[in-house]
Amino acid sequence: MDTRLPFVPGILVLLGLVVMSLTLAMGFGAAELGFANIWQCMTNTCERSIYQTILLDVRLPRVLMGFLAGFALAAAGALMQNVTRNPLADPYLFGIVAGAALGATLSGLLPEQFQAFSLPFAAFLGALFAVFIVITVLMHNNWRRIEHLLLAGVAVSFLLSAISSFILYFGEAFAANRVIFWMMGSLARADYQSLSYVAPVVLISCVLALVFSRQLDALLLSDESARTLGVNVDKVRLVALVVCAAMTAVVVSYCGGIAFVGLMIPHIVRPFFGITTAKLLLSAGLIGGCFLVWVDVVARTIVTGQEIPIGVITSVIGSVFFLFLMRRM
């Protein structure tokens, strides 16, 4: 059965959905702001200056970060699944989260005089370290085998997680809590400064992936088939992996471990937008962005006066979705 939508109208509908989600999501939170207030603030001046502070300084960066993080994770997941021809692949497979967690752990628990970096920066370095190990191992080994890539990622994940757990176990309890909360994922850290780091990385990564989209499509049939079409398979796959790693690492550093978005969203999108890289990447990104914006709304409103870690919610939704998917496959 062909369920595919025409691409351009489909994307336009998604863009409409994005604008609507971003606007409406700003209305939710501890202080109830009606849509009328938001509209007034956007078009004119705010009724009360506190509204302006809440909307522009707190909620706008937060929904934007939610959208960007969701976009990046879903796009990276789509790319990762295509490039490994494995529908269960996930940007986290690289050990990116485990690496980021190790970075966060070290930055959070080391004595103060060694704390040269902020937590996000340390997490980013940790994520890059994990990717570096995976790619180095593969370069020495037979880098052409996709299964090796996935297995190396899993092994590095476990190793780095073990080191983090060891450090946390002996670490000071309060600092350990801080790291553990970070791992559960949250958009509370979002501000314009963090957006200014995340947005360019996501943008450049997506543009790079789109520039290579034809070559990436060629990989979908088989490596050999792609080579007969003149594609340098190893180079294209390395570009895609680096792009995935960069997007995921920067998001994880600021937002912590938000699981299952990258795995789940491409599966939802594929029947409607197909599997070719450019279409899948854009549509999965837009839907992933909306998804995370609304998950964050749930995270900050479901329990009055308290925030649920966003990663907990995506994990619940994602794992249930995953089990349904397994039944269908």
Site residues (vs another protein, CB under 8 A): 2, 4, 82, 85-87, 211-212, 214-215, 217-218, 220-222, 224-225, 227-232, 270, 274-276
State the nearest-atom distance from the C-beta of 85 to another protein, in Å: 6
Residue nearer to another protein on the CB measure, 215 or 253: 215
Q: Which residues have CB under 8 Å from 18's CB, separation 6+? A: 67, 286, 289, 290
Q: What is the DSSP letter of 306?
A: B
Provide, rounded to whole angstroms, the least separation between the CB of residue 217 and another protein.
6
d(CA 269, CA 91): 17
Rounded CA-CA distance 313/5 in Å is: 29
Q: Which is nearer to another protein, 64 or 241 (CB)?
A: 241
Specify the residue, 101 or 264, whose C-beta has the smaller distance to another protein: 264
Least Cβ distance, residue 204 to another protein (angstroms):
15
53 vs 228, which CB is nearer to another protein?
228
Side-chain-side CA neighbours of 305 within 13 Å: the count stands at 0
Question: 150 or 258, CB closer to another protein?
Answer: 150
For residues 90 and 80, the answer to whether their CB atoms sit within 8 Å is yes
CB 21 within 8 A of CB 290: yes
The structure tokens 């970096």 sit at 117
* Residue 1 or 173 with smaller CB distance to another protein: 1
Cβ-contact 91, 107 below 8 angstroms? no
Return the residue matching tokens 């090796």: 148
Min. distance of Cβ 54 from another protein in angstroms? Answer: 43
Rounded Cα–Cα distance for residues 264 and 261 (Å):
5
CA 283 to chain centre: 15
Rounded least distance, CB 10 to another protein, Å: 15
Given the complex with another protein, which of 191 and 223 has the nearer CB atom?
223
Q: Which of 62, 79, 77, 67 is nearest to 27 (CA)?
A: 62
Write down the least CB distance from residue 242 to another protein, Å: 16
Closest CA to 83 of 193, 282, 269, 243: 243
Residue of 327, 323, 223 lying closest to 264 (CA atoms): 323
Q: Which is nearer to another protein, 6 or 111 (CB)?
A: 6
Taking the complex as a whole, how short is the minimal distance between the CB of residue 134 and another protein, in angstroms?
A: 22
Which amino acid type is present at position 59? R
Tokens 């792009």, located at residue: 243
Q: How far is the CB of 220 from another protein (least distance, A)?
A: 6
Cβ proximity to another protein, 105 vs 277, nearer residue: 277
How is residue 145 written in tokens?
Answer: 């085998």
Q: Rounded distance, CA 141 to CA 246, Å?
A: 23
β-sheet bridge partners, residue 306: 303
- Least distance from another protein to the Cβ atom of residue 45, Å: 44
